Amino acid sequence: MRTMLKLARLKLVRERKALTQHQLGEKARVNRVTIPRVERGSDQPFPTTVRKLADALGVEPEDLMEPLP
C-alpha cells in the first residue's frame, strides 16, 4: 500500500509568497488544475511535481508536507 503524500502547507506557503494558484502553476510549470487539487488533497502529486512546486516557492519539499506526528 502506497502512503498518501499530503502537501498540507502548500496553500500557506503560496499565500505567504503572495502568489495566486494560477501564478504558482505558471512559475512551477505545472497544469493549472494541479494546484487547487493538490491544495484540497484530492490529488496525489508526483515527486517531480512536489519538487517543481518547492523550487517555484523557494523552499524545500519537506516545507510543504504535513508535519510528522
Q: Is the pTM of this model over 0.85?
A: yes
Whether 68 has a pLDDT exceeding 80, the answer reads no
Round to whole Å and give the CA distance between 39 and 21.
9
The CA dihedral of 43, 44, 49, 54, to the nearest 10 degrees, is 90
Higher-scoring residue by pLDDT: 3, 6: 6
DSSP annotation of 9: T
Give the chain's domains with CATH numbers.
10-60 (1.10.260.40)
What is the tens place of the pLDDT at every residue in 12-53?
999 999 999 999 999 999 998 999 999 998 888 999 999 999
DSSP state letters, 50-64: HHHHHHHHTS-GGGG
> Could you identify the residue written with the cell 488533497?
41
DSSP annotation of 12: H
